Amino acid sequence: MEQERMIKLEDFFDFNSKEPINRLGYTEDDMKYKIKIIEKMKALGMQITLDKAGNICGTISIGNHPQKTIAIGSHTDSVYNGGQFDGPVGVVVGLQTAESLIKSKKCTGIIKVPIYACEESSRFGNACLGSKYLNGTITEEDFSSIVDQNALKQGKTITLQEAINFANSYLKEHVDDIQEVDKIFDTVDYSLEAHIEQYDSLKKAYKKNKQDTIGIINSIGSAVRIKYDVEGQANHTGSTPMKKRKNAVDATAFIGKKVRKLGKRYEKQGLGRASQVEINTPGHNGSFNQIPNQANGLIDFRLQGENTPETVLEDFENIRQQVEAKTKTKITPTVVSKGTPVVTSKELNQKLTTICSQKGIQAIEMPSYPGQDTGYIPAKEKTMIFIPSTGGSHNPEEHTKKKFIQPATTLFTQLSKELLEERFRDAQRVTNIPRSTYESSHIPTSKVTSRDTDYENMLS
C-alpha cells in the first residue's frame, strides 16, 4: 500500500539518520518543515488555515452529507538536540489517514489535519502552547508575558507574541492561499493523535507478547508543581544541641524522603509519580560551621488517572506539617502549576481495541505520563495511540520504524470510517424514525452488520 500513497513516510523522515533535530517552536527550521507538510495538504485538496497562536490546519470536506468533524494531528516542533519522530509522526499519520479517507468514498464528514504550535516547553518554559490556546488555557493576552527562556539567559527578551509574529509572517510570505483565522477550530467532534512512546512500556509488551504492540492511551498525565521556602535559624554547628536545631536543609531532606515515598505509593496505585527536583540554600555560602537558616525546594508531581491536584495538595500539606513539627522550621509552599489528568474517551478506546483485534494488531491500554496536545484539544471525544520507539525520546537516538507507523494509519483510517459512517446513518435514522422508537431500538454499533450496504443504499 505504501508505494501507492501520495503521502510517503520518506518525505518526512530519514530512517537511517540520527542527526540531532533543533526544530524549536516558531523558528525558521520549524516553519520550513511545516511548509513541506502544507504542500502535501494542498496536494490532497485541503484548505489551509493559520491562527493567532500559529496553529496550522488542513481541512477537507468529504462525502455528500458532512456533519461531523474529525481532527487527526500532532506537533512538529522539537526540543534542543531532539529526535526526528516526537511529534511529526502524528501529523504524517494524520495526512495518510486523510488520504485514505478521501480515496475510500465510504464516509462523509469534515477531515482536519492540525499541526499544533509549540508543544515542547524547551523554548518558552511552557508546553502545548497551541493546544492550550485552542481550549482557552492561555489567551492572546498571555502572549506578551511568556518569554523565550534561552534568549533570556543571553540577555535578550523575545516574547511569545514576537515569536508567533515571526512564524506567521514567514508562512504568509512562503505559502499562497493561507487563510488567517482566530482559532483553527473552537471544537471538533473527534480528536485523534498518534505519538511515539517515550519510554519502554511497548518494548516490554513486545518481549511479553512476542509481537509488535501499540499503546491505546487511557489517560494523559498532568503536573502539580510546588516551590517551598523553609525558614530555620542560623547557629553554630558545633555548639547547638541536636534537639535545639532549626536546620532548614534538614527540612528539605525530610520533605524529599517523604515525597519519594508518596511518589512510590502513587505509582503503585496508578495515580502518578513524584520527586523533589532541586534544593537551594540562599545566603549559606557552604560554610561547615553554620546551621543553614534558609532553604527552598522544587517538587514535581506527575498525576495520572483519577488523581486530582486537590488530593496532591492535601498529601503535601500533611508532609509539610509533619516536617515543620520535626525540624521546628516554618515551611511556606507556593503552587506553581496545577493540572488535572485527562481521561480519554472510553468509547473510542473500545472501538480501537475492537479494530486492533479485527486487524491482528496487538495493543495494550496504557497512560501517557508526559503531557500531550490531546490533553488540551477541545473535542467532544478524544484519544491517542502510542507507537513503539527505541532510544528513548528527546535525544537524537530516538527512533521508530515504518512498520510501527503503518498500523497507526490503518487504525485511525478504520476508526474514522466507522465514526463518520455511523453518524451519517444515525442522522438518517433520526429523521426517518420517530424519536422514541429510535432511542429504544438503538443498536450498539458493534452489533451492526453490513455497514457498507446500508451506506450505499442511502446514497442511491
Bridge partners (DSSP) listed for residue 363: 214
HSE-CB for 341 with a 13 A CA cutoff: 25
Of 86 and 418, CB closest to Zn ion: 86
- Neighbour-count burial of 288, counting CB atoms closer than 10 A to its CB (0-12 exposed, 13-18 middle, 19+ buried): exposed
How many residues are given for the chain?
Answer: 460
Given a contact cutoff of 8 angstroms between Cβ atoms, the answer to whether 221 and 303 are in contact is: yes
Of 86 and 99, CB closest to Zn ion: 86
- Taking CB under 5 A as the binding criterion, the range among 85-93, 144-152, 168-176, 311-319 that sits at the site for Zn ion is 85-93
Identified binder of Zn ion from the candidate list 25, 87, 297, 388, rule CB under 5 A: 87
- Taking CB under 5 A as the binding criterion, the range among 60-68, 87-95, 132-140, 377-385 that sits at the site for Zn ion is 87-95
Under rule CB under 5 A, which residues in 295-354 are in contact with Zn ion? none
Of 13 and 424, CB closest to Zn ion: 13
As measured in angstroms, the least distance from the Cβ of 343 to Zn ion is 20
As measured in angstroms, the least distance from the Cβ of 104 to Zn ion is 28
HSE-CB for 268 with a 13 A CA cutoff: 6
Of 116 and 266, CB closest to Zn ion: 116
Among 90, 94, 92, 36, which residue's Cα sits nearest to residue 60?
Answer: 94
Of 86 and 421, CB closest to Zn ion: 86
**274's grid cell:** 513524584
Of 51 and 86, CB closest to Zn ion: 86
- Integer CA distances (angstroms), 127 to 90, 118, 124, 133, 272, in order: 17, 7, 8, 11, 19
Question: Quick one: DSSP state of residue 53?
Answer: T
Phi and psi at residue 360, to the nearest 5°: 70, 30
Number of residues lying near Zn ion (CB under 5 A)? 2
Work out whether 58 is an interface residue with Zn ion (CB under 5 A): no
As measured in angstroms, the least distance from the Cβ of 278 to Zn ion is 24
Work out whether 86 is an interface residue with Zn ion (CB under 5 A): yes
User: What residue has cell string 535525544?
Assistant: 395
- Taking CB under 5 A as the binding criterion, the range among 58-66, 84-92, 209-217, 252-260 that sits at the site for Zn ion is 84-92
As measured in angstroms, the least distance from the Cβ of 120 to Zn ion is 7
**142's grid cell:** 498571555
As measured in angstroms, the least distance from the Cβ of 393 to Zn ion is 8
Work out whether 63 is an interface residue with Zn ion (CB under 5 A): no
As measured in angstroms, the least distance from the Cβ of 75 to Zn ion is 6
Question: Quick one: DSSP state of residue 340?
Answer: P
Bridge partners (DSSP) listed for residue 273: 302
Contact positions vs Zn ion (CB under 5 A) = 86-87
